[in-house]
């Protein structure tokens, strides 16, 4: 059986999986967005996942493809440009979180049993990564503009601004190459493929460099929160 046949079988086997994910995303969006469009974007992600999947890495295909499918759906939504501000904010976070988790799913998995303390540490670390992605995904309107809901408390807006400023400080602590990836991807709203082209890197290599840069940023960000001096 050739690799192409393996890929084709994965696409056929997981096509209904794409439909379920597309319907899941659809429930969070405006009624005017067609489910069939989301399925089409998701199928593109499934094909990409089948092409990139390497079973020798120990990753589960359903886990790996889930993030690529969601990422492709949000890529398509971004191109459509028909999202409300609230939807766009959610989309920015979900798209970038999915991209990071997709890269994580490609990491070699250890066959050793993980101790409960280590499991908790890994879980806490992932939560910190998601918080980092959320804060860096906020736009200037989210930080300085008027909220969708005027009842939002001033204290909440101030806290968001303070977190955003700490994130900017943390970005300043990164190396030039890591800072360029983070700035281009989160603040200039470029895709990782576009970022990679600017750096002369492939998309897969850019994804790995982004994951490492994000982890360094997260460590610096939470260090500033714990010790702001």
Look up the CATH number of the domain holding residue 197: 1.10.10.10
42 burial type by CB count under 10 A (0-12 exposed, 13-18 middle, 19+ buried): buried
In a structure prediction context, what are the per-residue pLDDT tens digits for the chain, which is 229 residues long?
Answer: 444 788 888 899 999 999 999 999 898 888 888 999 999 999 999 998 888 887 766 667 888 888 889 878 887 887 777 666 666 666 667 777 777 777 776 666 555 555 655 655 666 777 778 888 877 776 555 555 544 454 456 666 677 778 878 888 999 999 999 999 998 888 887 888 888 998 898 888 888 899 899 999 999 989 888 876 5
pTM for the structure as a whole: 0.62
CA distance 128 to 97: 12
CB 69 within 8 A of CB 42: yes
CB 178 within 8 A of CB 217: yes
Number of H helices, E strands in the chain: 11, 0
Same domain, residue pair 25 and 90: yes
Same domain, residue pair 159 and 199: yes
Residue 178 carries which DSSP code?
H
Q: How many domains does the chain have?
A: 2
Last residue of a domain, which of 63, 89, 109?
109
Residue 117 lies in domain: 111-229
């Amino acid at each position: 059986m050739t690799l192409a046949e393996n890929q084709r079988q994965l696409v056929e086997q997981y096509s209904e999986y794409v439909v379920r994910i597309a319907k899941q995303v659809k429930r969070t969006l405006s009624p005017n967005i067609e489910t069939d469009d989301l399925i089409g974007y998701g199928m593109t992600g499934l094909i990409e996942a089948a092409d990139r999947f390497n079973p020798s890495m120990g990753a589960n295909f359903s886990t790996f493809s889930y993030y690529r499918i969601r990422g492709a759906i949000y890529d398509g939504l971004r191109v459509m440009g028909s999202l409300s501000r609230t939807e766009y904010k959610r989309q920015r976070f979900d798209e970038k979180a999915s991209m990071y988790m997709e890269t994580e799913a490609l990491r070699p998995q250890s066959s050793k049993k993980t101790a409960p303390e280590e499991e908790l540490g890994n879980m806490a670390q992932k939560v910190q990564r998601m918080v980092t992605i959320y804060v860096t995904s906020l736009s200037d309107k989210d930080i300085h503009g008027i909220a969708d809901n005027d009842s939002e408390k001033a204290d909440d807006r101030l806290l968001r601004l303070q977190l955003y400023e700490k994130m900017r400080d943390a970005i300043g602590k990164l190396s030039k190459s890591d800072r360029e990836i983070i700035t281009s991807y989160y603040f200039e709203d470029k895709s990782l493929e576009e970022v990679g082209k600017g750096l002369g890197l492939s998309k897969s290599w850019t994804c790995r460099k982004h994951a490492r840069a994000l982890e360094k940023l997260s460590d610096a960000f939470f260090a500033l929160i714990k010790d702001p001096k």
